[in-house]
Chain A
Amino acid sequence: EAQVTQNPRYLITVTGKKLTVTCSQNMNHEYMSWYRQDPGLGLRQIYYSMNVEVTDKGDVPEGYKVSRKEKRNFPLILESPSPNQTSLYFCASKGGSGRAYNEQFFGPGTRLTVL
């Protein structure tokens, strides 16, 4: 089944404790992206990657790091989480050709709480 997986799905942590949220896709997509969703703000892009070893900042990259060492994986790293990073995080990927190229597939989301 074509899918984007994220782990963990739920995480409660404390300020300053480094964490990583993993994202993996099995569709051989070149493009991957991370978003955060906050009430009243919609989704905001954190980082995106056009391909392996290519990453770019989105709208709200501060406090986050990413890496793209393999095509299928795109982990999101919070080196020193703060309470304002409490949010719902989505990973997404897209690729293929023609009309399929434009469809972004989203993971199930990771709900992060930073105390």
Chain B
Amino acid sequence: AQKITQTQPGMFVQEKEAVTLDCTYDTSDQSYGLFWYKQPSSGEMIFLIYQGSYDEQNATEGRYSLNFQKARKSANLVISASQLGDSAMYFCAMREAQNQFYFGTGTSLTVIP
């Protein structure tokens, strides 16, 4: 079974609108971490946000928030007020208890002016 599943290969959003990128995960560990990374066309990997499995509140970092639903094993990324510079590939990732990381296949986000 896939450890991280991102079911949206591509998404479009109008500038200034909010967008949700989906991510589901699969683990039997009690302690784990969930991450989102952004990869612009230039290729670098940029850390966006982190959610620990024991964190009761959803993580937020500026315009990014992580909608963590533990029972559903989902960790969706919400980007509010989209900007043209948000156009990029977005990867969901999970760190299991032994510090092994798993990444999803990514979602390509295009922000339309």
Contact = CB atoms under 8 A, between A and B. Distances in A.
Interface of B: 4, 6, 33, 35, 43-45, 47, 50, 52, 91, 93, 95, 98-106
Given A42-B105, A56-B98, 6 more contacts: A31-B99, A40-B105, A45-B103, A56-B99, A92-B45, A109-B44
Contact of B45 (A44, A58, A106): A106
Interface in A23-58: 31, 33, 35, 40-45, 48, 50, 56, 58
Interface residues of A, number: 25
Contacts, number: 54
A31 B91 CA distance: 20
Given A50-B99, A56-B98, A56-B100, A88 B43 contact: yes
A64 to B, nearest CB: 15
The secondary-structure label for the interface of chain B is strand
Interface stretch (A12-20, A72-80, A97-105): A97-105
A105 B44 CA distance: 10
Contact of A102 (B6, B33, B102, B104): B33
A42 B44 contact: no
A59 B100 CA distance: 8
A42 B106 contact: yes
B35 to A, nearest CB: 7
5 contacts: A33-B101, A42-B6, A45-B100, A45-B103, A59-B102
Contact of B47 (A33, A103, A109): A103
Nearest to A41: B105
Q: A42, A45, A48, A104: which has the most chain B beta carbons within 10 Å?
A: A42
